[in-house]
Structure 1
Amino acid sequence: MADTDGLLDARDFGGAASGTGGFHVKGAQAQDWGLQNRLARIFKADTGRTVMLAFDHGYFLGPMAGLERIDVNIAPLVPDADAIMLTRGVLRTSIPPATDAGIVLRASGGPSVLRDLSDEHIALDMEDAVRLNAAAVAIQVFVGSENESRSIANLAALVDAGQRHGVAVLGVTAVGKDMVRDARYFRLATRISAEMGAHIVKTYYVEEGFETVTASCPVPIIVAGGKKLPELDALTMAYRSIQEGAAGVDMGRNIFQSENPAGMLAAIRAVVHDEVKPEEAYQLFKDHSAAGTAS
C-alpha cells in the first residue's frame, strides 16, 4: 500500500498538450479506429467539443418535471444536440432511429432516489450497447462513498468490455450530499476515472481551480449542468467551463426545464462551439423565445 503521509499537493498543471496524433479528441490518439469513430460522433471535428443533452434522470428519479413525455418534450430537441445521454429503454421507445446524435447509454443503475444511490451495479451488457449503435456508455463513479471500490471496479469492467467492442466509456463523477465540491476533490475523482480507463469524464464546474481539473485529466472533461439555474447563470457556467479547458457540457435540467428548451439549447451551442459570451447567448435565447411566442 502506498504511503500517503507527507504527500505534496500537485501544483504544476501548465504546459502545452502533446501527442494528439492528429485526432481531435484528447487522449484518444492510440485508440482503435472504431472507438475513435464513435468518439467523433460525440465531439465535433471542427471544434473538438460537444453539446450533450442528458435525459437519463428517470433511471433513478422517475418522470421528473420536463421528462413526463420523452417523445413529446425531448425527441424534438435531439436533432440540435451533438450527443444524447439516455437509457436503452427510452432510446428504444421514444427516440427516432434516424437521429444523427451520438448515443451515450446509461450503463449503471440499481437503487432509486429512495435508497443509497452509490449502491449501483452495471446494468447494461456491452453487446446490447453495440446492438443499439451506441457511441459510448456511461457509468457513475462514487469516489469517497461507501461503495467507492465497487463503483470503480464497475468502471474498470465496463472499460474492458468497451475496449473489446470499440465502445467509449464515460465516467461520471457522482457527488454525495456530504462531499466537498472543490477542485481538489474533482481532480481526484476525474483522474481516478481516467486512470482506470474512462475515455471521457463528466464532472461538475467549480469557480476556483477548475482549470487544474481539466489540465490534470488526460481525457476530455465535459461539465454536468446540475440543478436548474437561471438561464444566464447556466450560460455563464458553460462559458467559463469551456474557457477553462472543458471539452463540452452535458445539460439536462437547464435545457428541458427552461421556459424555452429549444432556445436554451441553441444558446448553449453558441457558447460551446462559437465561444459566444454569456450575455450574447442570453440575448439569443430571449430572441428565440420571443420568436416562438410570436409564432
Structure 2
Amino acid sequence: MADKDGILEAKNYGIGIEQNSDGFYVKGAGHYSWGMKSRLSKVFNPVSGKSLMLAFDHGYFLGPTSGLERLDLNIPPLAEYIDCFMGTRGGMTTCINPTLTGNKAIALRVTSGSSILDDDLSDEIISVDIAEAIRMNADLMASQVFIGAPNQRKSIENLSKVINTGNTYGVPTMGVVAVGKDMERNAKYFRLATRIIAEVGAQVVKCYYCDDFESVIAACPVPIVIAGGKKIPEAEALEMCYNAISMGAAGVDMGRNIFQSEDPSAMVQAVRAIVHEGIDHKEALDMFNALKAKK
C-alpha cells in the first residue's frame, strides 16, 4: 500500500530476506565485482553478517568534540573490539597507527565543507578523491546526503560522483542520511532517504533508528547500519542497538554513545556482543556494568 504521497506504508510489509543468489552474505551484493565483495567482507563480519563501526569523524564540522579532544589517546584502545574505523583523512593519518588497522576495515569520510557556524550544513563538496581513498586502503567511502535540505541535489550529485569512481576501482560507497535540526526523524522520511541513496547506487546506507524501523529495512535493497546519534544513557543506547539489529539492521556505526560513555571500553564490548553474539539489551547492560565494575 502507498499513502497519498506515494510513499510505501509499513503495514503488511515484512523485512526483506538478505540473501543473494551466489551465496554472498551482504544484502544486494550478489552481482558485485570481486574487489567490491572483498572490501565488503572486511566491513561486515562473515560469521555474523554484521558490522560494528566506530565513528570518530565528528571533528570535520564540530571541531574537538567532547571525548575526541585527543583522537590519538581515545580511539586506539577501542580498536580491538570493532570491525571498522570511520574517520576523516586527517584524523586517520595523524592519530591512528596504521598497524592497528591491519584486520580492520576503514570507512573514509570523503565529503566536507560545512561547520557548526553554518546555517545550512547541507552545502558540501567531495573533499577526498578516489586516488587518496585507495592510497589510504579504504574499504568504504562515506558521502553525506541531505534529502529534503536546500542542497539536496548537490549532495546527491556528490554521492553519484563518489559511487561512479568507487565502482571503477571496486571501492564501495556508504551514503549517510543527514538529518537537519528541523527535519522529521520518522519511518516515512527514512524510507524515502534510504531508498533514494540505494537507487543512486550506494552499496551501504547509514541512517538513524526510528519507530517502525522494519519498514525502512525492508524497503532498502542494500545493508543499513544505524547511526548512534547524540549521547543518551547507556541503557537506552544498548536498547536502541538491540532493537535495530533485531529488526534487520546490518550493523551499528556508533560514536558518541561509545567514546562519551562512562566507560568507553565496556560500552564498545557490550555493543559488540549485541551485534555479533545476539545478546539482548538487558544482558548487554549487565555486561557493561560488570566490565565497568572491574575497573
Q: Aligning the two structures, in what range does the TM-score lie when normalised by the shorter sequence?
A: over 0.9
Give 1:184-199 correspondences, 5 Å limit. Answer: 184-199=188-203
What one-letter code is carried by the residue in structure 2 that aligns with 1:66? G
Q: Equivalent residue for 2:185?
A: 181
Residue 146 in structure 1 maps to residue 150 in structure 2: yes
**Structure-2 change in CA distance of 1:243 and 1:97 (3 Å):** same
String of CA shifts for 1:103-122, please: whole Å, max 9, x gaps: 00010001111112101011
* Residues 205 and 6 of structure 1: CA distance in aligned 2, closer, same or farther (over 3 Å): closer
* Secondary structure in structure 2 of the residue aligned to 1:223: strand
Output one character per residue of 1:167-217: Cα deviation in whole Å (capped at 9) or x when no partner.
11000000111111110000000000000010000000012x110000110
Give yes or no for contact 2:228–2:252 (8 Å, CA) kept in 1: yes
1:58-113 Cα distance to aligned partner (Å, 9 max, x none): 00011111000011111111121100100011111111111221000010001111
Residues 195 and 263 from structure 1, CA distance in 2 versus in 1: closer, same or farther, beyond 3 angstroms? same
- CA deviation string 1:31-80 (max 9, x = no partner): 11111110111100011100000000000011111000011111111121
Q: How does 1:43-62 map to 2 (within 5 A)?
A: 43-62=44-63
RMSD: 1.5
CA contact (8 A) 1:20 1:26 kept: no
User: 1:232 maps to what in 2?
Assistant: 235
Partner residue in 2 for 1:162: 166
**3-state SS of paired residue (1:172):** strand
In 1, the alpha carbon distance for the partners of 2:146 and 2:72 equals 31
For 2:150 and 2:255, the matched residues in 1 are separated by 27
Q: How do residues 80-229 of structure 1 correspond to structure 2 at under 5 angstroms? A: 80-98=81-99, 99=101, 100-115=103-118, 116-207=120-211, 209-229=212-232
Q: The residue matched to 1:85 in structure 2 has which SS?
A: strand
Q: Which structure 2 residue ranges, 5 or more long, are not aligned?
A: none
Give the Cα separation in 2 of the matches to 1:108 and 1:16.
32
Query: Quick check: 1:260 aligned with 2:247?
Result: no
1:64-79 equivalences in 2 (<5 Å): 64-79=65-80
Structure 1 counterpart SS, 2:116? coil
Distance 1:66 1:233, change over 3 A: same
| In structure 2, C-alpha distance between the alignment counterparts of 1:21 and 1:91, rounded to whole Å | 35
- 1:281 paired to 2:278: no
**Greater relative CO, 1 or 2 (CA 8 Å, sep 6+):** 2
Secondary structure of 1:52's aligned partner: strand
Shift of the 60–20 alpha-carbon distance from structure 1 to 2, 3 Å rule, reads farther
1:290 to 286, 289, 293: 293
TM-score, normalised relative to structure 2: 0.95
Q: Which amino acid aligns with 1:88?
A: R
Alignment: residue pair count: 288
Structure 2 counterpart of 1:226, one-letter code: G
CA distance in 2, matches of 1:7, 1:66: 42
Contact 2:18 2:26 in 1 (8 A): no
Secondary structure of 2:253's match?
strand
Deviation at 1:16, TM superposition (A): 4.0
Counterpart in 1 of 2:8?
10
The amino acid of 2:246's aligned partner reads Q
